[in-house]
Amino acid sequence: MQLLIKNGILVLPQETVQADLFIENGEISQIESSISKEGIPYIDAKGSFVLPAGIDPHVHLSLSTPIGLTVDDFESGSKAALAGGTTTFIDFVTPRKGQNLIDAFIERKAVIGNCYCDFAFHMSIIEWRTEIPNEMEACVKEYGITSFKTYLAYRNSIGIDFDDLEKVMKTAKSLNVMVTIHAELGDIIDQLQNEAISKKHYDLIYHSKTRPDYTEYQAVEKIIELIRKTNCKTYIVHVSTAESLNKISKAQKEGLPIFAETCPQYFTFEESVYKDSRNKALGFIMSPPIRSEENRRGIEKAIADGQVSTLGTDHCPFTLEQKQKATNFTKVVNGTGGIQHRLSLFYSRFIASKKLSVNDMTKLASTHPAQFFRLPNKGKIAIGFDADLVIWKKTSEKIGKRILYSRSDIDIYADEQIQGKADIVIKAGKIVYQNGKLEKDLPQGHYLYRK
């Protein structure tokens, strides 16, 4: 299969150049100022950016929770991803207590079914057992899993304490792989929630009041101490406070291997969303919560100043009905969607407003996720790399007017006005999205074995 893209503005790692790009057998095979091929299908991308397609390092499809699965499975989640210009994502394996990590991985792979994006998994470590180091080694060496996820929140289910986190970090360091951490002080949050409930504070605003800023940045502080001890490569997921980013940035200057991910919800919204009607506010119950306007601006500034390494979504969508089941804020299932909107939201806030360049967007949304998580041949436009590409278009429209592919009936971004969007999406050299909708015949994605 061959495809030629002519006259586009190619977004390369350090520069943008107007050039033609030739794709063969799913890979980029030629980049020249002008390429002519007889009888080959071609796209005229004149005046448009051609970007490496997005890689979302943080999604939860078919995630099992006490109230049921997240509403997007790998089929609908990957469709939403493609429609937004993301062709690869990293989901999670979450073992049960006592379950061997490899068994959990095999079980997880069995639920995938149709998936039109390439994908990998972070392995969650939800407890410490004497067998964990051997199982982690098998994950890395036999199953291509080079990142491990830990949660400091959710202490009565999958969360671990700092002592166990240190053991995970030491083991990861010995295997030369990344530990990713949900940084919230779970014990303190549980205590604050119990106090709120005992005072009959049931309103949704207490979701954010019982997860104050310090429950994140003090967790980050303690993690930095552990990095000093272990020198483990560490990635903090969905950073939501300005103070956490400040601490991470200082630790980086000290030479520590720490990296920050944030998500569009933390630079788009501020906490008054919890005072909206109950049905609207339910969509924003996620952890960490939406924070103050000061934090929102702080996150925005830190991104513009280059203090954030990657952009994820934490795509974890539920239906309104699933969210409504809760009797008080502590019982509302956590999470929201966004995988289709990540690039548009970032472009609109940072590129259209000239705070950052389109190369910066590519770095956060594609190149860095590929490098940090060792995704083979992904994340940049270069010869021999996968032909996962996006032809970008300037626009001015509301997200809610587009064809949305998530199965959730909640879209917290529906009213957001965007300035740019994926116009044509190419996955492994094949057009999968154009004219505002997905193509009928989508090829299956592949599990990415990481080395």
Query: Binding mask 247-286 vs ligand URP (x if CB under 6 A, - otherwise)?
Result: ---------------------------------------x
Please state the three-class secondary structure of the chain as a single string. Answer: CEEEEEEEEEECCCCEEEEEEEEECCEEEEEECCCCCCCCCEEECCCCEEEECEEECCECCCCEECCEECCCCHHHHHHHHHHCCEEEEEEEECCCCCCCHHHHHHHHHHCCCCCCCEEEEEEECCCCCCCHHHHHHHHHHHHCCCEEEEECCCCCCCCCCHHHHHHHHHHHHHHCCEEEEECCCHHHHHHHHHHHHHCCCCCCHHHHHCCCHHHHHHHHHHHHHHHHHHCCCEEECCCCCHHHHHHHHHHHHCCCCEEEEECHHHHHCCHHHHHCCHHHHHCCCCCCCCCCHHHHHHHHHHHHCCCCCEECCCECCCCHHHHHCCCCHHHCCCCECCCCCHHHHHHHHHHCCCCCCHHHHHHHHHHHHHHHCCCCCCCCCCCCCECCEEEEEEEEEEHHHCCCCCCCCCCCCCCCEEEEEEEEEEECCEEEEECCEECCCCCCCCECCCC
**Scanning residues 302 to 341, which ones bind ligand URP (CB under 6 A)?**
314, 316, 334-335
Instruction: Answer yes or no whether residue 173 interacts with ligand URP by CB under 6 A.
Output: no
**Closer residue to Zn ion in complex, CB, 314/411:** 314
Structure-block tokens of residue 308: 């954030």
Q: How far is the CB of 266 from Zn ion (least distance, A)?
A: 13
The residue from 73, 184, 314, 386 that contacts Zn ion (CB under 5 A) is 314
- What is the residue type of 383? I
**Closer residue to ligand URP in complex, CB, 49/151:** 151
Total interface residues for Zn ion by CB under 5 A: 1
* Position with the least CB separation from Zn ion: 314
Instruction: Answer yes or no whether residue 60 interacts with ligand URP by CB under 6 A.
Output: yes
Q: How far is the CB of 73 from ligand URP (least distance, A)?
A: 16
**Scanning residues 190 to 209, which ones bind ligand URP (CB under 6 A)?**
none
Query: Binding mask 216-235 vs Zn ion (x if CB under 5 A, - otherwise)?
Result: --------------------
Q: How far is the CB of 391 from Zn ion (least distance, A)?
A: 30
Please identify, among the stretches 130-138, 314-322, 367-375, 436-444, the one whose residues bind Zn ion according to the rule CB under 5 A: 314-322
Q: How many CB atoms lie within 10 A of CB 110?
A: 8
Whole-angstrom distance, CA of residue 451 vs CA of residue 376: 8
Out of ligand URP, Zn ion, none, what residue 286 binds, judged by CB under 5 to 8 A for its kind, is: ligand URP
- What is the residue type of 380? K
**Scanning residues 354 to 393, which ones bind ligand URP (CB under 6 A)?**
none
**Closer residue to Zn ion in complex, CB, 48/70:** 70
* Sign of the four-CA dihedral 299, 300, 301, 303: positive
Out of Zn ion, ligand URP, none, what residue 378 binds, judged by CB under 5 to 8 A for its kind, is: none
Instruction: Answer yes or no whether residue 182 interacts with ligand URP by CB under 6 A.
Output: yes
Whole-angstrom distance, CA of residue 425 vs CA of residue 392: 9
Whole-angstrom distance, CA of residue 381 vs CA of residue 425: 14
Out of ligand URP, Zn ion, none, what residue 334 binds, judged by CB under 5 to 8 A for its kind, is: ligand URP
Total interface residues for ligand URP by CB under 6 A: 8
Q: Are 160 and 128 spatial neighbours (Cβ–Cβ below 8 Å)?
A: yes
**Closer residue to Zn ion in complex, CB, 314/386:** 314
Query: Binding mask 271-310 vs Zn ion (x if CB under 5 A, - otherwise)?
Result: ----------------------------------------
Please identify, among the stretches 131-139, 152-160, 312-320, 380-388, the one whose residues bind Zn ion according to the rule CB under 5 A: 312-320
Q: How far is the CB of 19 from Zn ion (least distance, A)?
A: 38
Out of ligand URP, Zn ion, none, what residue 287 binds, judged by CB under 5 to 8 A for its kind, is: ligand URP
**Closer residue to ligand URP in complex, CB, 299/381:** 299
- Sort strands 49-52 and 389-398 into parallel, antiparallel or unpaired: antiparallel
* Position with the least CB separation from ligand URP: 334
**Closer residue to Zn ion in complex, CB, 48/336:** 336
**Closer residue to ligand URP in complex, CB, 205/358:** 205
Out of Zn ion, ligand URP, none, what residue 335 binds, judged by CB under 5 to 8 A for its kind, is: ligand URP
Whole-angstrom distance, CA of residue 81 vs CA of residue 417: 19
Q: How far is the CB of 350 from ligand URP (least distance, A)?
A: 22
Q: Are 117 and 89 spatial neighbours (Cβ–Cβ below 8 Å)?
A: yes
**Closer residue to ligand URP in complex, CB, 108/394:** 108
Q: How far is the CB of 38 from ligand URP (least distance, A)?
A: 51
In the complex, the residues that contact ligand URP under the rule CB under 6 A are 60, 182, 286-287, 314, 316, 334-335
In the complex, the residues that contact Zn ion under the rule CB under 5 A are 314
